[in-house]
Amino acid sequence: MMKYFLLPLILFLTPTAYGAVSVESLIDQVDQYRGYPESPFEVTLLVHSKRPNKPVQKYKLAVKVKGEKSIVKFLAPARQKGRAILKEGNNMWFHIPRTRRVIRISPTQRLLGEASNGDVASTNFKNDYTAELVGEETVEKTLSYKLHLKATSRKINYATIDLWIDKSTGKPVKSNHYAISGKLLKVAFYKAFQNTESGEKLHKLLLVNPLRKGQYTWMIYNNYKQVNLPDQLFRKESLNRL
């Protein structure tokens, strides 16, 4: 008799068998490490992209983020200085200095080695994905929660993401990024965090092409600053005024 009573209880408890962990709070925590979900901010970004037997391609970018909107300005290399990308929802615009031209670009177009425009311009999982806790695994020698994220819209860069979060600290450890076809596009390793005035933030992100050996990109975030950024800054017309 007891087993008929216990079985439904076990089945009921199974989905929360990883303790009283709230998926939302885990995603909130990860987004906090990747920026300031609740307020606009600036960050500088060094991108070092490596391909086998090729010189490292280096970029220095100034990134301004407000919610789902962001502006990425190229500070280096000198031959690309002054270029800027605006991401406004699914709209992405590219500004070429001197010509004053602002052209629409594809969100999937790569401008920085392994990093797509979306990788540089997006810092928020919560708005773009719904998450499900699927288990615990040890990755990168770290006991982690494994979350499966599904894009809330077909317009999001990656259709699904498997995300591993450090069970003890809540920091992201690794994520696999898949296309809608199920093809694995990228593997990201969250390698280092730095202390800022408002807590720890992502400092070093490693993006690896899983299908090409030796093809990877380091993204080094620095100088996080919460700033007041008006909505109208994130307009196509503003790209000529940066």
Residues 110-139: x where in contact with other proteins by CB under 8 A, - otherwise, as a string: x-----------------------------
Out of 101, 142, 165, 202, the only residue in the binding site for other proteins (CB under 8 A) is: 101
Alpha-carbon torsion (149, 191, 214, 77), positive or negative: positive
Q: Is 181 in the site for other proteins (CB under 8 A)?
A: yes
Out of 184, 193, 200, 226, the only residue in the binding site for other proteins (CB under 8 A) is: 184
Q: Is 140 in the site for other proteins (CB under 8 A)?
A: yes
Instruction: Select from 136, 211, 150, 144 the least CA-distant residue to 171.
Output: 144
Q: Is 143 in the site for other proteins (CB under 8 A)?
A: no
Decide whether 13 or 53 has the Cβ nearer to other proteins. Answer: 53
Question: How far from 182 is each of 90, 101, 154, 186, 217, CA to CA, in Å?
Answer: 21, 36, 13, 12, 22
Alpha-carbon torsion (118, 129, 153, 87), positive or negative: negative
Instruction: Give the shortest CB-35-to-other proteins separation in angstroms.
Output: 17
Q: Is 150 in the site for other proteins (CB under 8 A)?
A: no
3-state secondary structure string across 187-198: EEEEEEEEEECC
Q: How far apart are CA 59 and CA 43, in angstroms?
A: 14
Cis bond before residue 172 (omega within 30° of 0): no
Name the token pair of 100: 């004053």
Interaction site with other proteins (CB under 8 A): 44, 46, 48, 50-51, 54, 56-58, 60, 62, 75-79, 81-82, 89-91, 97-110, 140, 155, 176, 178, 181-184, 187, 189, 191, 204, 206, 208, 210-214, 216, 218, 220, 222-223, 230, 232-233, 235-238, 241
